[in-house]
Structure 1
């Protein structure tokens, strides 16, 4: 293991301390935000919860799943959807829809 030496000149202890704390706080805020968004997006939803969230029928949800528009996960004999993936799929559908309308 090699030893690395860092030499700091023309900086007071308080300035260095302040810079370190500021950088650590910013990194923690970024990590916290990223962790929260991942936590919310990994929530598993039932078929009914997903259909309600999208304001569609279970038949429409089944068709979208069958057509690989929305990914579904089987857990035993139950079907679940990841909230983040559902939102992402709807955003992609919305983008395609906007392109179709703009070209007509």
Structure 2
């Protein structure tokens, strides 16, 4: 009976040691500290959101610029299908710009 109890306790201690090592590895204490200071958590989330928004805006600008450059190069090739599609796209954009002039 005593042997079983000792073995059970040693397994429990081993499990607790593994759990402790895991929680230290994932930096659980810093996470708990962060949750206990809501203003710091809010500030970090605000700063992260600002930089995410800037990254999305700049990334979209770069990608849109590259698409425009590619379309300009395709227009110079004067391909019939793509040229018609680009002409339709230009008409749609012009229509939107003219419609917005009267709404201001």
With the shorter chain as reference, the TM-score category is 0.3 to 0.5
Structure with greater contact order relative to length (CA < 8 Å, sep ≥ 6): 1
State which structure, 1 or 2, has the greater radius of gyration over its C-alpha atoms: 2
* Structure with the higher helix share, 1 or 2: 2
Query: Normalising by structure 2, what TM-score?
Result: 0.35
**Bigger strand share:** 1
When normalised by structure 1's length, the TM-score is 0.35
